[in-house]
Amino acid sequence: MNVLKRNGKQVEYDGSKIILAIQKAMSDVNTLSEEVAQEIEDDIFATINSSEESWTVEEISDEIEKQLMHKDLYEVAKSFILFRNNRSKNRSTDKSYKYLSKEFVNSYKNKKPPMTELGTLVYYRTYSRYLPEKNRREKWYETVARVVDYNVGLAKWKFEKEAKEEAELLYDNVFNLRQFPSGRTLWSGGTKTSLTNRISQFNCAFAVFDNFDIAKDIAYLLMLGVGFGFSVEKQYVDALPEVRNNVNVIHQAYSPVTKKKRKEATEFNVTGDVMEIIVGDGKIGWSNAIDLLIKVFYSIDYDFVNHVMINYNNVRPFGEPLKTFGGTASGHEALQKILEKISNVMKKDNQGKKKLKPIEAMDIATIIAEGIVVGGVRRSAEMCLSSNDDDEMMNAKMNLYTQDEDGNWIVNSEIIHRMMSNNSTAYWEKPSFKELKDRFEIIKYSAENNFFNMEAARKRKPNVKGTNPLTV
């Protein structure tokens, strides 16, 4: 069980340090209780041990404060808070970054970033992180410092002087938009997420939809802000197992538990033919809940389960700040919508058991994307490839909106999730003129389905299977 230090290094959890800090705060106000100090440490150990993520030193200190207040040890809590503040002030006099000096960073403080008004809007909306200690969002010069210091730190440097020179050169290039990191690093580089969930630094990923485990991967990666490309070409979707239609899904009324009692891992229990899924409050918790519900529809391990009850009480409420990743929570409604719509896909036109069609596999992927808005600010990005003879996929977006008798455009809520992916046909050999003409007729109305030259891609990479959103 590891703890994340302020310098980004992970160290083994040491409960004796917690006990020592509490006892010091107690001694400052002439109150000493080894038993209480041990109780608090035991509670913190149990909480961290059940968590899916490494805790930071600051998060542990926050928990100590809460525990002291909960036990009505207000004077002890005050002593501990004052101690933390003094330590924080002492640290603030040190360098904020490892490779960039304060003097260097501050020299850019009053320089105007070379952005248009639209670029400035996109930056503040998507990449500027909120700084709670300053009660404001980052400014461009601060974002660049955070990201550059993180990127330079990924390399092993023989001489510190060379690292600092590289950092200053990279800083100037990024500040002036001559060089750029990945968009994901611009958002989370240098934060706890970049150290504990390193995959969050990747812009895009790809997989073929030949098994249902991909749904869990899509959910997890999209929640980390990674764009996802996938292929629903017929040869892949044909490999999926059949799904049954006799699963009754019940969504329990939401009654949130307190923050202290929240579970991060998704759990389930079975009584007779009834399964209760207790959704965990975390990225893995959400993705495992999606995976588990889908498994009930197809896996022989759960073919005796006819009723699924879903408990969302551990999911944090809509709008609550996300301390580790940044942004705000989507709330349980977003996940409930995902699970409801996936269940509908499984049951639609199902007379007992059925094989999913490529368009239904695409629906599952885009339903997940529809429900996941990263940090409450950035929509999910997907890219879907399909077979060249798949008419349903070619026309997948033709009826996203319909007009009523008064000429008003109405959203088709049943399939509007399909707008979440950019769709293209995978051409493994040159199409005929008629094929291209027919395709452009459809593109005129829906801007899709486009085409992707897999023949050329295969020449560059013989085992290629697809692409990701970054390439289109």
Q: What does the pLDDT read at residue 360?
A: 98
Which two tokens mark 25? 């705060």
Largest CA distance in the chain: 88
Checking if the pLDDT of 91 tops 90, the result is no
Q: How confident is the model at residue 472 (pLDDT cuts 50, 70, 90)?
A: very low
Mean pLDDT of 219-227: 90
Query: In the chain, where are the structural domains located?
Result: 2-92, 102-198
Handedness of CA 300, 302, 305, 306 (dihedral sign): negative
Please tell me the number of Cα atoms within 13 Å of 372 on its side-chain side: 29
Give the count of beta carbons closer than 10 Å to the beta carbon of residue 29: 15
Which two tokens mark 308? 């699924």
* Cα–Cα nearest to 318, from 371, 379, 260, 249: 371
Checking if the pLDDT of 377 tops 60, the result is no
Checking if the pLDDT of 119 tops 60, the result is yes
Backbone angles phi and psi of 136, in degrees to 5: -160, 170
DSSP code string of 152-171: HTTS--S-HHHHHHHHHHHH
Mean pLDDT of 275-279: 97
Compute the residue count for the chain: 472
Checking if the pLDDT of 267 tops 80, the result is yes
Distance between alpha carbon 234 and the CA centroid of its chain, in Å?
29
CA distances, 46 to each of 40, 51, 86, 199 (Å) = 10, 9, 29, 27
Q: Which is more confident, 55 or 237?
A: 237
Q: How confident is the model at residue 378 (pLDDT cuts 50, 70, 90)?
A: low
Q: Is 69 helix (H, G, I), strand (E, B) or coil?
A: helix
Which two tokens mark 369? 């994307």
Checking if the pLDDT of 92 tops 60, the result is no
Q: Which is more confident, 59 or 464?
A: 464
Distance between alpha carbon 141 and the CA centroid of its chain, in Å?
26
What is the average pLDDT value for the chain, to the nearest integer?
A: 88
Q: Is 357 helix (H, G, I), strand (E, B) or coil?
A: coil
* Residue with tokens 């109780």, as numbered in its chain: 39
pLDDT in tens, 125-142: 889 998 877 888 999 999
Checking if the pLDDT of 282 tops 90, the result is no
Distance CA 229, CA 423 (A): 10
Give the count of beta carbons closer than 10 Å to the beta carbon of residue 366: 25
Neighbouring residues of 428: CB distance < 8 A, sequence distance ≥ 6: 388, 454, 455, 458
Q: Which is more confident, 40 or 327?
A: 40
* Residue with tokens 């993705």, as numbered in its chain: 287
pLDDT in tens, 313-360: 999 998 887 766 667 788 899 999 999 999 999 999 999 999 999 999
Angle between helices 57-70 and 74-92 in degrees, nearest 10: 160
Q: Which is more confident, 218 or 80?
A: 218
- To the nearest 10°, the Cα dihedral for 401, 403, 408, 409? 10
* Global confidence as pTM: 0.74
- To the nearest 10°, the Cα dihedral for 115, 121, 122, 126? 130
Distance CA 379, CA 381 (A): 7
> Which percentage of the chain shows pLDDT scores above 90?
52
Give the count of beta carbons closer than 10 Å to the beta carbon of residue 427: 20
